[in-house]
Amino acid sequence: MFNIPKPKPEDLIRKTFARFTDEEIIPRAREMDEANQFPRWMFEKVATTGAFGIRYPKSVGGAGGTTTQFCVIVEELARGSMSVAAFTAMQCLMGTNFLFEYGTPDQHERLLKPAIRGEKVASFALTEADAATDLGGVKTMARPDGDSWIINGSKTWITNAPVADFYTVLCQTDKSKGLKGLNFFLIERGTPGLYVSKKFDKLGTRATEISELAFTDVRIPFENRLGREGAGVGNLLRILAVIRVMTAALSIGLARAAYDHSKRYALERFQFGKRIGSFQLVQQKIANMATDIWASELMTYKTCEMIDRGERALKEASMAKYFASEVACRASDEATRIFGAYSYSMEYDVQRFYRDCRFLLFGGGTSEILQTIISRECGVF
């Protein structure tokens, strides 16, 4: 018996999720978008691959994977449907991370493991009406009361809120401490005083549901504070690089979809007796898309490697997210120009890319705030 080198796991993962996207998502992407609701069947289908546990160890039903592998998965899914990629990312990362790190064994049994199996939906609530880019403005209050916490306040723009089984919610415990008074709390659906608004009608990612949450004297057990007192923002910072690089990976997936469609159309559509791809101005668009995508890939996966080596990478992740999300928007814009009037038809996918790309600009930090952060990281502030 002799030895043959084993393939790299990320290559096998990419191949599997590329096939999953081609076979399961792309044929249904338009239908899911038009239905304008959370496709639980697709959520469950993704769960059968074990993707939701990619970042977590086997002890909780995970796969013990890396940030690189996680990004490969969401990139491939985003090539088919930004909505599916977005709820997968939420389930793998923001919605479950603090429950995994700070939850009790009982919470892991009841919530985390079922979430990884795709039986429960997770959600993550930071944003408030007056606290968005500036999380220092969070007003939702958590007040200790015996062996419980009492939560009052509200959140908005919360992905999965209408369908989630549990929420990781950022609350203030001591206004005088500002950012140091922020903590995450685990709140389960059905807790008295928790109100979930009707879902928002939105431009893109229409197969994810978003709504507001309101808390009126919501009483939760003391152990539902996830993390040490006052450590909320610090803990958030520890996964911020992963959130940003993940959003960069989503962006690459969408940009590739826009590029693939554009390329096909440029070779197919005839005007002036020629393929439109034979016109230099169309070629320029294709060349720029391809170049932008390659640059995004290099930035994103180089940053993933840094994170996987345990390096800080906040600057690099901010750059990757800023660059790749702008690339996704540029690529979908160019795709609409190459498709001309057909990009304006709801029967072509390009309009969906054009709507969905806007999603990438806000979560994980807007381009404006990211540029501010990058400059600060560069020492200019």
Partner 1 sequence: MDIVVLVKQVPNTTEVRIDPKTGNLIREGVESIINPEDRHALEAALQIRDNTGGKVTVLSMGPPQAIDGICEALAMGADRGILLSDRIFAGADTWATSTTLGRAIRKIEQFDLVLAGRQAVDGDTAQIGPQVAEYLGIPQLTYVQKLEVREGAVIAERALEDGCEHIEAPTPVLVTVLSSLNEPRYPTVAGLIDSTRPRAPIEIWNGADLGVKAYEVGLAGSLTQVVKTFTPKGARNTQYLEGSPAAVAAQLIDALRKKEIRLGE
Residues of this chain that interact with partner 1 (CB under 8 A) are 1-9, 12-13, 15-16, 19-20, 48-51, 53-54, 58, 62-65, 69, 73
Look at the block and give the residue holding tokens 């005839």. 270
Would you count residue 241 as binding ligand FAD (CB under 6 A)? no
Q: What's the closest the beta carbon of residue 18 comes to ligand FAD, in angstroms?
A: 22
Q: Nearest-CA neighbor of 123 among 185, 173, 50? A: 185
Binding partner of residue 20 among partner 1, ligand FAD, none, CB under 5 to 8 Å per kind? partner 1
Separation CA 161–CA 189 (nearest Å): 9
What's the count of helices (H) and strands (E) in the chain, helices before strands?
A: 13, 10
Smaller CB separation from partner 1, 79 or 352: 79
**Interaction with ligand FAD in 153-172: which residues (CB under 6 A)?**
157-159
* Partner that binds at residue 9, options partner 1, ligand FAD, none, CB closer than 5 to 8 Å by kind: partner 1
Count of beta carbons in the 10 Å neighbourhood of residue 370? 22
Site string for ligand FAD, 208-237 (x = CB under 6 A): --x---------------------------
Question: Which residue from 125, 258, 319, 373 is in contact with ligand FAD, where contact means CB under 6 A?
Answer: 125
* Binding partner of residue 7 among partner 1, ligand FAD, none, CB cut-off 5 to 8 Å per kind: partner 1
Position of tokens 């203030």? 172
**What is the token pair recorded at 2?**
């002799």
Question: Does residue 179 belong to the site contacting ligand FAD (CB under 6 A)?
Answer: no
Query: Which member of 140, 172, 183, 205 binds ligand FAD (CB under 6 A)?
Result: 205
Radius of gyration of the chain (CA): 21
Q: Nearest CA to 331 among 360, 311, 310? A: 360
Q: Which does 159 bind (CB under 5 to 8 A by kind): ligand FAD, partner 1, none?
A: ligand FAD
Residues 50 and 20: beta-carbon distance below 8 Å: no
Contact 318, 81 (CB under 8 A): no
Q: Report the partner that residue 125 touches, choosing among ligand FAD, partner 1, none (CB closer than 5 to 8 A by kind).
A: ligand FAD
Alpha helices in the chain, H assignment, sequence order: 9-20, 29-35, 40-47, 67-80, 82-92, 97-102, 105-107, 113-117, 232-268, 280-308, 314-339, 350-356, 367-377
Closest approach of ligand FAD to the CB of residue 352, in Å: 14
CB of 214 to ligand FAD, least distance (A): 14
Residues in contact with ligand FAD by the rule CB under 6 A: 124-127, 132-133, 157-159, 205, 210, 359, 362-363, 366, 368-369, 372
